[in-house]
């Protein structure tokens, strides 16, 4: 008997069937030879390993890009492929950024869309904040610099200002504007005039007691107090502050007869002296022309036999030219014209 294998099964053929076995062997030989060749390994043609071959190339993935035109030019973005693997335009994402200028260095800022951008953050380590449109100290705010005092080309309080960072540059911004003037030492209305000029002076008292002072000094309103009076003296000033100058000094008198006279004791702020009028030669007129207290003496007046008598000059007439003392009556006598004040 002859044994053979078919499809992995062992068979036993009778001895007389040799011819039959030959025929069957020919019939089975072709497919068996074909089946002896191993099919190709699909995994060997994949670009990446796949868990269960056969595999196919992976689908295209989104890729990073940069927007090159429009309001968001320069911003990073992502381009997405369609079903055919064709990539679309570069679009913004929540993490899109662009490079910005942080003089003297550079920084980055978020792209918010439609030409809107976040704060430009300095790319280096946090440093002191400067006026450069950047967040140098990484606190989330650009150019947050403490304002400093500065001055403008303006008058009064309007000249005071504070520094500010505007569009990356330091400027001095006005903080005071004209208001109603007040007594505070400042030119509040910014007209270039100080408080003394604005509010003027206040005054009080009269004569030597007169006082005048600025109404506002050093930002404080003032009051006026007259100066104290003093005894009156002959100086042209109202020393006792009663509204009159050099009063109460009376008059000075001097001389006798026709030489008698009187003057004010004080005139034009100057003490006066009394000088008698000049004497004249005696003549027969009932007056003491030579000022010797004798009238018509030394036969100045002659009375002849036809004369009845000497008629005295009336007192009023005789005293009209004599301020005080006595005045001759023209007949050898005299009239009293009042006592003269002591010199």
Mark whether 253 and 335 lie in a shared domain.
yes
Specify if 240 maps to a domain. Answer: yes
pLDDT recorded at residue 53: 66
Res 286: pLDDT: 81
Kindly state whether residue 307 falls inside one of the protein's structural domains: no
Q: Is residue 164 part of a domain?
A: yes
Q: What predicted TM-score, i.e. pTM, was given to this entire model?
A: 0.48
Three-state SS string over the chain comes to: CEEEEECCEEEEECHHHHHHHHHHHHHHHHHHHHHHCCCCCHHHHCCCCCCCCCCCCCCCCCEEEECCCCCCCCCEEEECECCCCCECCCECCCCCEEEEEECCEEEEEEEEECCEECCCEECCCCCCCCCCCCECCCCCCCCCCCCCEEECCCCHHHHEEEEEEECCEEEEEECCCCCCCCCCCCCCCCCCCCHHHHHCEEEECCHHHCEEEECEECCEECCCCCCCCCCCCCCCCCCCCCCCCCCCCCEEEECCHHHCEEEECEECCEECCCCCCCCCCCCCCCCCCCCCCCCCCCCCCCCCCCCCCCCCCCHHHHHCCCCCCEEECCCCCEEECCCCCCC
Query: Of 225, 248, 271, which marks where a domain is finished?
Result: 248
Same domain, 99 and 188: no
Is 71 within 8 Å of 112 (Cβ atoms)? no
Last residue of a domain, one of 228, 248, 268: 248
Instruction: Say whether pLDDT at 323 is over 80.
Output: no
Task: Tell me: do 141 and 195 sit in the same domain.
Answer: no
β-pairing verdict for 216-217 and 211-214: unpaired
- Phi, psi at 206, each rounded to 5°: -135, 165
Domain termination residue (choose one: 145, 165, 199): 145
Q: What is the pLDDT of residues 270-290, one digit of tens each?
A: 999 999 999 988 888 888 889
- 45 and 57 in contact (C-beta within 8 Å)? no
Q: Residue 36 — very low, low, confident or very high, per pLDDT cuts 50/70/90?
A: very low
- Do 222 and 253 lie in one domain? The reply is no
Q: Is the pLDDT at 129 greater than 60, yes or no?
A: yes
Asked if residue 138 belongs to a domain, the reply is: yes
Confidence of residue 343 (pLDDT cuts 50, 70, 90): low
Section 74-92 average pLDDT: 94
Residue at 8 is within a domain: no
Same domain, 256 and 341: yes
Domain that holds residue 278: 249-298+313-343
What pLDDT is stored for residue 309 in this prediction? 57
* Model pLDDT, residue 179: 96
Whether residue 112 is found in the same domain as residue 160: no
146 pLDDT tier (thresholds 50, 70, 90): very high
For the segment 183-209, the average pLDDT, to the nearest whole number, is 96
Question: How many structural domains compose the chain?
Answer: 4
Domain contains 306: no
Please report whether residue 39 resides in a domain: no
pLDDT band for 260, please (50, 70, 90 cuts).
Answer: very high
Kindly report the average pLDDT of the chain as a whole number. Answer: 84
Considering only CA atoms, which of 127, 125, 123 is closest in space to residue 137?
127
- Residue 227: closest CA among 202, 246, 207: 207
Banded model confidence at residue 9, pLDDT cuts 50, 70, 90: very low
Report the pLDDT value the prediction gives residue 51, as an integer from 0 to 100: 66
Domain identity same for 87 and 99: yes
- Alpha-carbon distance values, 343 to 255, 262, 293, 327 (Å): 11, 11, 19, 20
pLDDT at 302: 55
User: Same domain for 239 and 317?
Assistant: no
Q: Is residue 2 part of a domain?
A: no
Q: How many CB atoms lie within 10 A of CB 1?
A: 7
What pLDDT score does 22 carry? 45
CB 260 within 8 A of CB 325: yes
């Amino acid at each position: 008997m002859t044994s053979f294998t078919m499809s992995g099964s062992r068979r036993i053929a009778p001895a007389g069937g040799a011819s039959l076995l030959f025929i069957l062997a020919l019939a089975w030989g072709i497919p068996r030879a074909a089946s002896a060749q191993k099919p190709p390994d699909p995994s060997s043609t994949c670009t990446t390993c796949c868990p269960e071959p056969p595999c196919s190339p992976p689908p295209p993935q989104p890729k990073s890009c940069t927007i090159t035109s429009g309001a968001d030019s320069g911003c990073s973005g992502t381009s997405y492929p369609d079903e055919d693997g064709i990539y679309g335009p570069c679009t913004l994402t929540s993490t899109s950024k662009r490079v910005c200028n942080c003089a003297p260095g550079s920084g980055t800022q978020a792209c918010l869309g439609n030409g809107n951008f976040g704060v430009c953050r300095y790319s280096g380590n946090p440093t002191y904040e400067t006026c450069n449109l950047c967040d140098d100290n990484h606190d989330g705010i650009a150019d947050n610099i403490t304002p400093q005092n500065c001055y403008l080309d303006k008058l009064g309080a309007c000249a005071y200002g504070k520094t500010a960072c505007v569009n990356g540059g330091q400027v001095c911004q006005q903080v005071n504007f004209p208001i109603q003037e007040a007594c505070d030492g400042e030119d509040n209305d910014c007209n270039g005039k100080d408080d003394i000029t604005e509010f003027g002076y206040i005054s009080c008292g009269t004569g030597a007691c007169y006082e005048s002072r600025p109404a506002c000094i050093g930002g404080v309103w003032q009051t006026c107090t007259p100066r104290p009076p003093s005894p009156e003296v002959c100086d042209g000033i109202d020393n006792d502050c009663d509204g009159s100058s050099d009063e109460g000094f009376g008059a000075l008198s001097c001389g006798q007869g026709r030489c008698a006279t009187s003057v004010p004791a004080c005139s034009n702020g100057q003490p006066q002296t009394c000088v008698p009028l000049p004497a004249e030669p005696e003549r027969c007129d009932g007056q003491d022309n030579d000022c010797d207290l004798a009238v018509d003496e030394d036969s100045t007046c002659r009375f002849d036999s036809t004369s009845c008598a000497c008629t005295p000059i009336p007192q009023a007439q005789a005293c009209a030219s004599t301020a005080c003392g006595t005045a001759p009556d023209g007949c050898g006598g005299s009239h009293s014209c009042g006592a003269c004040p002591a010199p």
